[in-house]
């Protein structure tokens, strides 16, 4: 995204897929989102608990959409 002039500020939507989501995961994910996007206007996000991902070693996958 940087190669075409974009930054994290251009991200408007996130889809977060978390393997075997537990309530404590939400606190950790929220803190990371605030650290990277700020607390005032983070992108809209949908969180989905899944049994697994295509790469079995992954515990989380984040899909982002940006407007440039």
Number of structural domains found in the chain: 1
Instruction: Give tens-digit pLDDT for 8-59.
Output: 999 999 999 999 999 899 999 999 999 999 989 899 999 999 999 999 999 9
What is the CATH classification number for the domain harbouring 8? 3.30.1330.40
Q: Which residues contact 36 (CB under 8 A, 6 or more apart)?
A: 8
Q: Which domain holds residue 20?
A: 2-66
pLDDT for 41: 87
d(C-alpha 58, C-alpha 18), whole Å: 9
3-state helix, strand, coil in the chain (%, to 5): 30, 35, 35
């Amino acid at each position: 995204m940087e190669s075409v002039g974009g930054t994290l500020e251009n991200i408007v939507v996130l889809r977060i897929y978390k393997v075997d989501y537990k309530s404590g995961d939400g606190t950790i994910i929220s803190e990371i989102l605030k650290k990277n996007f700020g607390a005032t206007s983070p992108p809209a996000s949908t969180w989905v608990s899944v049994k697994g991902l295509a790469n079995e070693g992954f515990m989380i996958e984040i899909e982002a959409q940006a407007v440039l």
